[in-house]
Amino acid sequence: MSTMEKHLFNLKFAAKELGRSAKIKKAIQKGNTEVARIHAENAIRQKNQGVNFLRLSARVDAVAARVQTAVTMGKVTKSLAGVVKSMDVALRSMNLEKISALMDKFEHQFETLDVQTQQMEDTMSNTTTLTTPQGQVDLLLQEMADEAGLDLNMELPQGQTGSVATVASAEQDELSQRLARLRDQV
């Protein structure tokens, strides 16, 4: 996905999020908490679907990185075969400078393979799943009610501070950073 496509996706997502917030606020102002709850559940479900799509994209990138590692390992294997043949020739001529250069090249290729393998392992270990607690829905409803200056007249979980937007923003930032690191590694 190109940078422009990412920005377009984020803009469309933000527009839908604002539209959903307006629907929630209108339903709360009319005193229809059930409709507001449905809109809030849909908003959170769709937000999580977007996050899951990003997670799937990261997993696909991880698979692509594994395939790239396999291709690279194939190239290294061919290079090693060439190195071995060259070493045979070098050993026959006993040219120590040539042997040293070949060994340095071999060491460099081996280190490159180690780095790529480690990157692949790190990438795969960083994938996780996300669940959406009901508390987020209730928190979003309370936020919209607070903005509208209304009382929802329902029991909401106590002791939770912060906003859904802050939680969603933090999750999105973390996923964006992980995705950027993955793309930089490949």
d(CA 164, CA 135): 9
Token pair belonging to 8: 């377009």
d(CA 136, CA 130): 13
Residue 60 lies in a domain: yes
Residue 155 lies in a domain: no
Residue 123 lies in a domain: no
Residue 103 lies in a domain: no
pLDDT tens readout for residues 138-180:
888 888 878 777 766 654 444 444 454 555 566 667 777 877 7
Residue 148 lies in a domain: no
Q: How many domains does the chain have?
A: 1
Domain with 12 in it:
3-93
Mean pLDDT calculated for residue range 9-13 = 80
pLDDT tens readout for residues 50-92:
788 878 888 888 888 888 988 999 898 898 888 888 888 767 7
Q: Residues near 52 by Cβ (< 8 Å), separated by ≥ 6?
A: 130
What is the structure's pLDDT at 50? 78
What is the structure's pLDDT at 4? 75
pTM over 0.75: no
d(CA 85, CA 65): 30
d(CA 130, CA 171): 10
Mean pLDDT of the chain: 76
Residue 158 lies in a domain: no
Residue 21 lies in a domain: yes
Its sign, for the CA torsion 147, 153, 154, 160, is: positive
